[in-house]
Every structure is written in C-alpha cells, then in structure tokens.
Amino acid sequence: MAVTIARWTLADYHAMVQVGLFAGRPIELLNGLIVEMPPEGPEHADASTRLMPEFWSAAQGRYQVRAAKPISIPPNESEPEPDLALVRDRSYQTAHPHPGDIFLVIEFSKTSLAKDTEDKPLVYAQAEIEDYWVVNLRDRCVILYRHPVGGRYQTEQTLFSGEISPLAFPDVSINVDSCFG
C-alpha cells in the first residue's frame, strides 16, 4: 500500500491557524508539511537572546531583527519561524516577510540539528535567501550556507572561531564565540 502525504498550502495553513487548530502547539510549515518544533532549551534561548542585541546595535535603520517570528515562502509552501532573521525595515502588519525582504536567517540548533542542516537549507535556498546560518550548539560552531543557485546553496562553510558578517551588511561583524552566549 502506498502512503499519501497531504501537503498544505500557505492559505490552508493560515486558515487552520486562524481557527485555532494548532493552539499551543509549536509548529511550522515546511514544503507543505506541518512540522512540530522541539521545545527551546535554556542554552538555545540564552544564545539567541544574547546575540540579538549585537544585530540591533548595528542596524542603524537598515534592517529589523525578528526573533522567532514567521517568514512566508510562497513558492515552496513554507512558513518557518527562524530563531533570528534580519529583514527589510518596514511594517509587516498585513503579511509576514517574504524572501525578497530577508537578508539573513539564523537557526540555533541542538536537538533540531538534522532538520536545520538538511531540510531548512533546501527551503531557504529554493526561496533564494542568500544567507543562512546554523549556530550548532552541540559542536560550538557556525555553519554558513550562502549563494543559492538552482535550489541549493553553493557555499557551505563551518567556523569554530573568528568573525562573520551577513552578506548584505559586511560592516556588521559578529564574533563566532558570541553566538554561544
């Protein structure tokens, strides 16, 4: 017997969220599939909270820093909630940021490392998001995914030390060690 998986559109997903179908459940939509998110551990929460002010202080009105807020990716029916995202500085009262609004996406990862390094790079690369970082809390490194072409990132680099900068803002320098709280 073949198994058929129901894939959901962004409109389906928003309708289900609107009626409260998933109230209290941490979920996100990835490639049309509703995926549960693991609970955020203290190390994860601390690291993302401590890195956010570094990005805010360098923003100077060029971008917003959004923490654990949805971004909509219509081409592949996804609405992930990255731990941090640098997005165009404008109002998002009527729609979540779309790929053209997104400069950088960051996921802090320990228990969700496989999803963040296997599934999400495909979602973000297919949406042509130029810059995706995974802060690997287990191995204390940052994995940079950059330059999407044909739905795949062309560059993958792992850093254990040094400075990194978002592609869109090379003047913003983040020490790799500061990514770990």
Query: pLDDT tens digits for 11-28?
Result: 999 999 999 999 989 999
In a domain, 60, yes or no: yes
In a domain, 134, yes or no: yes
pLDDT of 5 reads: 79
**For 67-72, which contacts have Cβ atoms below 8 Å and span 24 or more sequence positions?**
69/96, 70/28, 70/96, 71/96, 71/97, 71/98, 71/99, 71/101, 71/102, 71/105, 72/10, 72/96, 72/97, 72/98
In a domain, 153, yes or no: yes
Helix (H, G, I), strand (E, B) or coil at 162: coil
In a domain, 24, yes or no: no
Other Cβ atoms less than 10 A from the Cβ of 138: the count is: 10
In a domain, 129, yes or no: yes
pLDDT of 49 reads: 92
Query: pLDDT tens digits for 75-108?
Result: 889 999 999 999 999 999 999 999 999 999 999 9
How far apart, in Å, are the Cα atoms of 115 and each of 35, 64, 104, 134? 10, 25, 18, 11
In a domain, 20, yes or no: no
In a domain, 35, yes or no: no
CA distance 167 to 176: 15
Distance of CA 170 to the CA centre of its chain: 19
Look up the domain containing 61 and give its range: 40-180
Total number of domains constituting the chain: 1
pLDDT of 46 reads: 92
Spans of the chain below 50 pLDDT: none
In a domain, 157, yes or no: yes
pLDDT of 50 reads: 92
Q: Domain with 101 in it: what CATH number?
A: 3.90.1570.10
